[in-house]
Each structure stands twice: as C-alpha cells, then as structure tokens.
C-alpha cells in the first residue's frame, strides 16, 4: 500500500495579508480546493491511501464536500494532549482542539510532531528555561495516545536538524521510542522530515540517505509505513517511488517559484509522477 498526504498548512491566507492564497475566497477555500482535487484523489484511491490535512476552519467544508463513495481521508494538522472522558472532563478545553472533537467533524487522520509543531513546543519550553527534547516527545506521545484512543490514524513526524546529523540515529530513535511509547502502532505511519534539507537552497538527501533512515525507522517501529516528509515534489517523485522501503510522501507546496502555492494541477502532476503514468486506473 502506498500513502500520499498533503499538508495544506495555512495556505488559505490571502496574498494581501502576506499569504499565498489566490485560489478562492477564504470563506469558500476549503470546499473549493476539495472539489478541485477530488477527481485526482478518486482516480488514484485504488492505488494509494490519500489523506489531506486541513487547517481546522475547513474541516467541516471538507467533510461536506466529501461524498460517501470517496475513499480519500480528511486529516487535521494537530490535536491537544487531553480529551473528554466519560464522567470526567466534558469539554473544558478553550482554544484547544481535541481528538474526539475532530473525529466528530469527520476526520480520520491527524498530523503529529511536524517540525513546526516540535519547534513551537521547544520554544515554549525554552521560555521557561527548559531545553529538553525528551519533554517535547513526551508531550507528543500524549497527543498520539489521545488520537489512537479516539480512533484516528496518525502520521507521526520525526527528523534531525543540521546540527544533529552526525547523531541522527540517537535523535530519531528517541523521537520514536518516547513519542510512540506504549502506543498501538497499527494505525501509525511515520513521516521522515530531514530538517536540514527543507527550504530554498538547502541540500537534497539522496536515495541512499533516505533509504538508511527509512530502514532504521521500520526496524525501530516493527514495520510502520515510512513516508518521506521532506516534500514530495515532481522533481523527486520518481526517485522516491523507486526506494522500496519508502511507502509514500507528504506534499506541501506544489509550486516553489513564481506564483508560489498549492495548486490542484500541481497536486495531480505529483501524484501521477509518483505512482507512474502506466498505473492510472
């Protein structure tokens, strides 16, 4: 089984507010985007599990646009580390979205541990004078546990910075061991994000490097699917498709120059390139 995910980040913010959205008015952005990529998702649903991670404001639009026959999955970009409990907390989580709340909206997937989330948590701890990667992973473990308990599948992100490259096994091993501690791994996929390779002008990991990390993750997790989270693009789609231990990719932007953004035609081109033109059903 192949896995293809797209993280829509905050691609809804219009250009006049320093964002990149020129696709649709904000009030209709979620439903418009969903409608425009539905044909692509339906076309490849028999070959790959496809999940789209939306900003929370658009989950209901996506759920409404998704037909009962559609096989692709709606995902949320993160959840809180606590949740409602029978005869316990009934919903006192102001500003926080819980796993059960997004499950009720129609979500089946959640993205946890994305590098931007890790940096945010590490930054908050640093403000309190605490530098402790294990603490970040423990907080993420609580989120993963809540997601699994609510019946959500998880795309759990791990990866090393440039400064951590010479000890990547230690760093990623800790992210896996602590972040997935005592978790049922049957609904977990792991996304590998080489932080040192993300961004304009950064070096690109080759197939050998990605292979050794993916094999390490599979060994450490007992065979969880491994997704390349450094960005599935047209340029690297065939290379990634040919790595046996990589099970899929995470798409961010589809256009990295000129009119930067996420565009439905670019999304379709990436999936076609990754799965192969001869595999169209």
Give catalytic residues, as residue numbers.
114, 193
User: Given the structure tokens 């029978």, which residue do they identify?
Assistant: 86
Whether the Cβ atoms of residue 62 and residue 30 lie closer than 8 Å to each other: yes
CA 72 – CA 162 distance, rounded (Å):
35
Rg (CA), the chain: 18
Give the burial string for 182-206 (b: 16+ CB within 10 Å, else e).
Answer: ebebebbbbbbbbbbbeeeeeeebe
């Amino acid at each position: 089984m192949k896995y293809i995910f797209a993280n829509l980040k905050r691609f809804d913010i219009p250009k006049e507010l320093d964002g990149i959205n020129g696709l649709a008015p904000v009030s209709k952005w979620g439903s418009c985007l969903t409608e425009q990529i539905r044909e692509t998702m339906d076309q490849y649903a028999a070959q790959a599990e496809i999940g789209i991670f939306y900003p929370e404001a658009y989950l209901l639009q996506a759920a409404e646009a998704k037909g009962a026959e559609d096989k692709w999955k709606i995902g949320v970009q993160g959840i809180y580390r606590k949740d409602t409990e029978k005869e316990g907390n009934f919903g006192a989580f102001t500003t926080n979205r819980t796993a059960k709340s997004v499950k009720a909206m129609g979500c089946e997937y959640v993205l946890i541990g994305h590098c931007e989330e890790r940096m945010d948590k590490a930054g908050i701890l640093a403000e309190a004078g605490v530098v402790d990667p294990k603490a970040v992973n423990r907080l993420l473990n609580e989120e993963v546990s809540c997601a699994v308990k609510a019946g959500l599948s998880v795309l759990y992100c791990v990866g090393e910075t440039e400064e951590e490259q010479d000890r990547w096994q230690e760093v990623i091993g800790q992210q896996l061991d602590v972040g997935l501690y005592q978790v049922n791994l049957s609904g977990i996929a792991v996304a590998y994000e080489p932080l040192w390779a993300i961004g304009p002008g950064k070096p690109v990991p080759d197939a050998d490097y990605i292979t050794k990390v993916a094999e390490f993750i599979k060994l450490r997790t007992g065979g969880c699917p491994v997704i390349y989270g450094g960005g599935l693009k047209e340029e690297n789609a065939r290379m990634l498709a040919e790595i046996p231990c990589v099970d899929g990719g995470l798409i961010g932007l589809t256009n990295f120059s000129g009119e930067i953004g996420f565009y439905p035609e670019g999304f379709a081109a990436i999936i076609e390139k990754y799965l192969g033109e001869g595999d169209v059903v």
